[in-house]
Amino acid sequence: MEKVYDLLVLGGGPAGLAAGMYGARARMNTAILEKGRPGGQAATTEDLENYPGFGRGTTGPGLTQAMADHAREFGTQFIADNIVSLDLAARPKKVVGRKGEYYGKAIVYALGAEPRLLKVTGEGKLRGKGVSYCATCDADLFEELDVVVVGSGDAAIEEAEYLSKFAENVTVIVIHGEGKVDANQVSFERALKNPKLKWVWNSTVKSINGEELVESVTLRNIKTGAETDYPTNGVFIFIGYSKAE
């Protein structure tokens, strides 16, 4: 049988990193399985000023890297693999990855969430070709270009501001009426003062258009039903998250 861990943590976001740190500190043989870079969603947010104890100037990648380093200092091991299946009835419990099999006396499930899709024409075809769900990852690709942000929650407004550091213009597509967003008021009021941000209210994205790269989005006004093509070089989608499988 392969090596048996006292604790296997599935997922390397903040919750998984904390579990790994506590497990290793308790002198348990602990490993974290993560398919990508540790940090989860928090690592994709550049400006992270609402984490308790950390004020302005904190970045998602910086904070989550510190969490990963903290876990490593106590002896947590990191395994890069994509989980395929679990056998929780086995003793010890069995985790099957694409690269190997892993066994643990106990398992912490901390797989987090995935970006929710618009599910409109062109989204899948142009993903990675102008369609993105991570401003921190892709903002520099749109320097001096025009982009749209879909959504009006905290992530959408905060990432729109981050994008404005790179893009020429950032247009926020909001399903609600003028002046109404789902984000906290502090972030919204700050965004309203940003001269690079434009706002399109009462609207949804019907399709994302382009051949090899994003060229435009078709917007639909939910009040009038009118449809318009809006030229853009990129589409950043922040409409929430769904539980990761």
Is residue 81 part of the annotated active site? The answer reads: no
Is residue 134 part of the annotated active site? The answer reads: yes
Contact 17, 32 (CB under 8 A): yes
β-pair partners for 177:
none
Is residue 154 part of the annotated active site? The answer reads: no
Among residues 126, 127, 102, which one has the least CA distance to residue 1?
102
Contact 14, 50 (CB under 8 A): no
In the Cβ-directed half-sphere of 38, how many Cα atoms lie within 13 Å?
29
Among residues 108, 79, 98, 85, which one has the least CA distance to residue 19?
108
Query: What token pair was written down for 125?
Result: 């075809």
Cα gap 72→62, rounded to integer Å: 15
Catalytic residue among 87, 137, 140, 229: 137
Catalytic residue among 138, 140, 146, 154: 138
Catalytic residue among 6, 69, 81, 134: 134
Specify burial of residue 100 (Cβ count, 10 A radius: 0-12, 13-18, 19+).
exposed
DSSP class of residue 117? P
Provide the annotated active-site residues.
Answer: 134, 137-138
